[in-house]
Amino acid sequence: MEGYEQKRENVRDEIFSKAVRAGKRTYFFDVKSTRRDEMYLTVTESKKMFDRDGKYHFEKHKIFLYKEDFEKFVEGINEVVQYVKDNSPEGTVFTRNDDEFSEEKEYSKVDFDDLEK
């Protein structure tokens, strides 16, 4: 029964969870607690990968973020996102295309009714 107690303890660790689907990836933001009831965040990227024989598995990457680092982490990610927004060529829109980001240029709206005239 020791294994059962371990599983129950792990369930107690999870306090809050949020899944964000983004293309072929899913990001999991999980709030957990230590044995001392201190909360921390895990960020997990999960991506479905296919083997040559067609079978699939999930590749996962995880980071642990502790509360004393939250503010610096948020500041850093906000700065990087703002840099990308400020330094992307004007009129460029970034969209997800399968597994990679693709660059699309914004074009003027074409009214196909005008072509018939």
pLDDT digits (tens, 9 = 90+) for 46-99: 998 898 898 989 999 999 999 999 999 999 999 998 999 889 887 666 665 544
Neighbours of 99 (CB within 10 A): 9
Residue 37: inside a domain, yes or no?
A: yes
Question: Which residues partner with 42 through β-bridges?
Answer: 30, 64
Read off the amino acid at residue 79: E
Residue 114: inside a domain, yes or no?
A: no
Read off the amino acid at residue 46: S
The domain in which residue 51 lies consists of 2-107
Residue 112 has pLDDT above 80, yes or no: no
Residue 43: inside a domain, yes or no?
A: yes
Residue 9: inside a domain, yes or no?
A: yes
Q: Are 14 and 30 in contact (CB under 8 A)?
A: yes
Model pTM? Answer: 0.62
Residue 114 has pLDDT above 70, yes or no: no
φ and ψ at residue 84, rounded to 5 degrees: -60, -45
SS3 108: coil
